[in-house]
Structure 1
Amino acid sequence: MHTEPEIRTAAGVVRGRWENAVAVFRGIPYAEPPFGARRFAAPVPAQPWDGVRDALDFGPPVPQARVISGDGDCLTLNVWSPDLGAAALPVMVWIHGGRYVEGTSSNPHTDGTILAESGVVMVSMNYRVGVEGFANIAGAPNNRGILDQIAALRWVQDNVAAFGGDPGNVTVFGQSAGAGCTTALLTMPLAAGLFRRAIAQSCPGTFFSPRLSAAISATIAAALGAQATVDELTRFSPAALVNAADAVLEKMPDFVESWGPTALTPTAFSPVVDGDVLAHAPWHALANGAARDIDLLVGHTRDEYRLINSLLGTEVTDAQVNTTLDHFAPTSDTSYRALYPEATPGELYELINCDWLFRMPDLHLADAQHTGGGQVWNYELCWSYNRDQGASHSLDVLLVFGTLDLDDVRNHPSALPNAAAESVHVAHHMRTDWLKFATTGDPGWAPYVPDARSTRVYTPEPTTQPYPEERSRRIWSTHQFGALDLPE
């Protein structure tokens, strides 16, 4: 019978609990609460405490929709460790997604137990989202949510050895908005030396110019009768800013002429390429060697857009496809219909959105990392357990963490035959490859190079083959991804 584990951190002693063979510490503050005088500011390390602090419960979520409070010690992290000795285990630090507007490390789908049981120290954190974390506010640093992540990574450097981890072998991994943050971290001088490897799962192609982010933030502030400055916005509660941002998000398609294709995405926030906190969009920075010393694993699911497709199940018209092509496809492009002659209008609509928002930005990240002299591996998840959602956005998270409920798989109304048994195999393969990469820097297949485009394709029996989405790759081959700006 284990006694309750106690670990001395730089700020004080924390008490966790053994849950079977894993020591779990929840809700450890890594930064002071971002309220009062610290609101909209860069994070500062948590103040030391006396005595033993219980680390048994997740910290409260940061301000976001459907959160009752959203204050207190919300900048917290959690640690799962299979060995609290001097084990020097690989460390995996998870950054959750959520459109840069929501998410919490208490999400049961990202419980770190199974990864920790496999021989790593797993860390997850809360970070500021929405207006608090990503709005462009005069008088405040940009990308405050990412600055929070850097503070958490500094905490890992200072403390993870006491939990059995190796601070010299840290892998940052994130999905969706978490992958956008991960790719930003790859290029930021403030994050230099804080991690050795990175996994970007479904990185969105949305990074904002200062002009675009300022225009969006000004619109949100105007909904409150204010300007987007620290002085004015501190008058409003976090909940009021969440509600104002949500109201603008609902009307975003109305702004397509003034904000461009960003207005047709499901978020009003993205990392701001401000030339300071984040100097360049990741494709430019990686191609110039910004992360040549960091191993990168990057990829996406096949059907990224299915889950957020508001037109799914409706009769999509040719006119709607044409509008979508006008907004998203590479300049003057007519190749989609030529290269996908079998696709219905509905399938084309989904495909164009899928390519613009996730698949092509991710493929171009692999190209950019190779160009910059870094090692990079590419993957695509092509397995699904039901006909409706396909290989959907976020399915990879459940597979890697081992939290896809087999009853949910079996009972889905459009479940595919053998789906439950297959899910166990696919999850095992992905998780094993992620762990191998975090441990050694090599997931077990050939690195990506632009000629061969070697890609690990996850199906019930994974294969390594040239990148499967060749038609889309050709359409986008000369496009340059970068910071999205206001239309000229």
Structure 2
Amino acid sequence: MLVLTLFLLLPSFSFSSPVLSSSIGKLVGTWQENGTVAAFLGVPFAQFDRRFRYALPPTNTSSSHIVTSYSPACPQKCSNVPKALCPVHTSETDCLTLNLFVPASAVHRTPSSAPSPLLDTMIFIAGGGYKFEASSSCLYSGAPLVLAEHRAVISFNYRTGVLGFAAGSAVDDNVGLDDQRQAIAFIRQNAQAWSLNTSAFTLFGQSAGAASLAASLASTDPMPAHAVILESVPWGLKFSTKEEATETTNRAMAAGNCSSIECLQALPVDVMVEVGASIKHVEPFPPWRLHSQNALAWQPFLTPSLPDQPVVALSRAMARAPGSPSQPLLVLGSNTDDGLWFVRDAVHRTLNTEEALAFLALIFNTSVATQLLDLYKPLIDEPVSASYDWRLSLERMVTHYIFACPARAVARARGGFLYRFDQLDEAGAKAFFGSTKSYCYDAVCHGMELPFVFGTQDVCNLPGSPSLDALSRQMMHTWASTTASDTPVLNASLAWLPASPATGSNLRFADDSSGGIAMENAYASLCDYWDTIGYGVY
């Protein structure tokens, strides 16, 4: 009888679905983390109109939206990447949705209860080279971060590939970027209903998602945020001009046997995706033309609102003015082996000295190419002989020139907190990458920081350890602290010093068994050299 009495006295919300109001009607979500986190998955933030056109505002209905499972991702061709990064389902018309994770206290409200405290909010933009993207990935589950840091965490889908970045007089500019803007505008529109503190927003992204945020910072109308975190932006790869993007679109029309955009619009979506994926780099230099304007065939292109390359625009910016919404707190960095994935995926055989020299000479010139071979030769553990595979050096060059050193240049010029993620995790890499990227087993590859930032090792069934778990908790706390603080928060015994014109010092993230978290000045002399070459030029 006592058990029954206690059962009846339990609050009713323990046995009902979490509910939030919104501008499109009532949202009925689901519980996660044993009822401590409310998840609203697949919430429509925009309504598909036509292919290559900006989306429309979502429809406001009086009915409830059951948002208990992830929606399909936008159409894409996802190949040769870890399974967890690829969506299970895609849809052109129903993909513009977001996923909202909030503490249970944000929805445990009755008409007589006091208003919930406003939640600091973290909004994530996933990467994928503008070719693929799935906010439903286990990596990006917001529940562990909500549970650990009591923040709202939001992710969303956007259009990629030809569907997101076609160009021409008969299409809208940078549709994929506009999807991102509409998602964040929708979040702000519903901030009061969701108890979100709009003064404590952190926008963070990885790879292409971070590059999208960098493009916003460099634009004439940056998305407002208290802080922006840029993980592994490929700064050294230029955005296309609109003319170049239009030429890429014309090549897609030819590949689809079309003579007009209207013909592309009428193609079945699976055919359209295959056509877009077939467009490669312009006249690739065997085995890879890194310096091509179209190193990423589909990507944002320069427009009047995005007048310059982000690395150039941000490097010219004045130092951050504290409290200014147009100059948010900036955190940016890279992984120790960010370039490895890209070189190995593009170059499938060994490179000898003559090939490496020719490759680098095409990107820069013969004099610089010769200097680079000399500069990077001493960095390699194995002897440089006639049989030496110069991909080993190119991987480091790409890491430094495309990722780490331009990030340092931006941080020094604009003001920001620079980091390097340097945690080897062989067991985790094997579980996550499988056989697709075996070269990442003993490296710190592109994207390997993500389960540490989100705390999703368990969600993705990745092996862990006490020291790795501790590193993840620290990174989750540091990333979350940016929503309200003007300085990323570490443990009490260590301060993260910002970069400045006089120093390019960075914070190294690694667990205690690998040397721990510490300030350093990674790649100082190498970055000094790359600074003389310049970024975002080739």
Select 1:448's aligned residue among 491, 494, 499. Answer: 499
2:470: which partner in 1?
425
Bigger mean CA offset, 170-179 vs 239-248: 239-248
Structure-to-structure mapping, 1:397-436, within 5 angstroms: 397-404=450-457, 420-436=465-481
Partners of 2:401 and 2:294 lie apart in 1 by 10
Structure-to-structure mapping, 1:78-157, within 5 angstroms: 78-82=99-103, 83-84=105-106, 86-117=116-147, 118-157=149-188
Kept in 2: contact 1:132–1:238 (CA 8 A)? no
1:261 is aligned to 2:290: yes
1:415: which partner in 2?
none
Change (3 A) 1:477 1:270: same
1:348 is aligned to 2:369: no
1:213: which partner in 2?
245
C-alpha displacement of 1:325:
1.8
Partners of 1:288 and 1:337 lie apart in 2 by 30
For the residue of structure 2 that corresponds to 1:465, the secondary structure is strand
1:388 is aligned to 2:441: yes
Select 2:274's aligned residue among 230, 237, 243. Answer: 243
Select 2:417's aligned residue among 377, 388, 393. Answer: 377
1:479 is aligned to 2:533: yes
Select 2:44's aligned residue among 29, 47, 52. Answer: 29
Bigger mean CA offset, 90-99 vs 215-224: 215-224
1:469: which partner in 2?
523
For the residue of structure 2 that corresponds to 1:341, the secondary structure is helix
**Unaligned regions of 5+ residues in structure 2, if any?**
1-13, 79-87, 107-114, 321-326, 385-389, 427-439, 490-495
2:197: which partner in 1?
166
Change (3 A) 1:340 1:261: closer
Counterpart of 1:71 in structure 2: which amino acid?
Answer: E
Kept in 2: contact 1:79–1:123 (CA 8 A)? yes
Select 1:460's aligned residue among 511, 516, 526. Answer: 511
1:42 is aligned to 2:96: no
C-alpha displacement of 1:331:
8.0
Structure-to-structure mapping, 1:282-321, within 5 angstroms: 282-289=310-317, 292=320, 293-308=327-342, 309-310=344-345, 314-321=349-356
Alignment: residue pair count = 462
C-alpha displacement of 1:108:
1.0
Q: Which has the larger radius of gyration?
A: 2
2:69: which partner in 1?
57
C-alpha displacement of 1:144:
1.0
Counterpart of 1:48 in structure 2: which amino acid?
Answer: N
Kept in 1: contact 2:120–2:197 (CA 8 A)? yes
Deviations along 1:204-259, one digit per CA (max 9) or x if unpaired, are 122222233223222222111224x543321223322210122223xx374349x9
Q: CA RMSD in A?
A: 2.7
Structure-to-structure mapping, 1:356-367, within 5 angstroms: 356-367=401-412
Change (3 A) 1:279 1:291: farther
**Unaligned regions of 5+ residues in structure 1, if any?**
371-375, 411-418
C-alpha displacement of 1:131:
0.6
Partners of 1:363 and 1:223 lie apart in 2 by 40
Kept in 2: contact 1:209–1:483 (CA 8 A)? no
C-alpha displacement of 1:160:
2.6
Change (3 A) 1:277 1:261: same
Partners of 2:347 and 2:443 lie apart in 1 by 12
C-alpha displacement of 1:311:
6.9
Counterpart of 2:241 in structure 1: which amino acid?
Answer: S
Q: Identity of counterpart residues, as a percentage?
A: 24
C-alpha displacement of 1:330:
7.7
Change (3 A) 1:312 1:230: closer
For the residue of structure 1 that corresponds to 2:338, the secondary structure is coil
1:414: which partner in 2?
none
Bigger mean CA offset, 45-54 vs 342-351: 342-351
Kept in 1: contact 2:73–2:91 (CA 8 A)? yes
Kept in 2: contact 1:97–1:178 (CA 8 A)? yes
Change (3 A) 1:4 1:311: closer
Deviations along 1:74-122, one digit per CA (max 9) or x if unpaired, are 1000100013153212110000001101111111111001111121100
Partners of 1:111 and 1:7 lie apart in 2 by 19
Change (3 A) 1:384 1:69: closer
- TM-score normalised by the chain length of structure 2: 0.79
For the residue of structure 2 that corresponds to 1:160, the secondary structure is coil
For the residue of structure 2 that corresponds to 1:48, the secondary structure is coil
Partners of 2:314 and 2:135 lie apart in 1 by 28
C-alpha displacement of 1:324:
3.3
Kept in 2: contact 1:198–1:296 (CA 8 A)? yes
2:7: which partner in 1?
none
Kept in 1: contact 2:52–2:166 (CA 8 A)? no
1:416: which partner in 2?
none
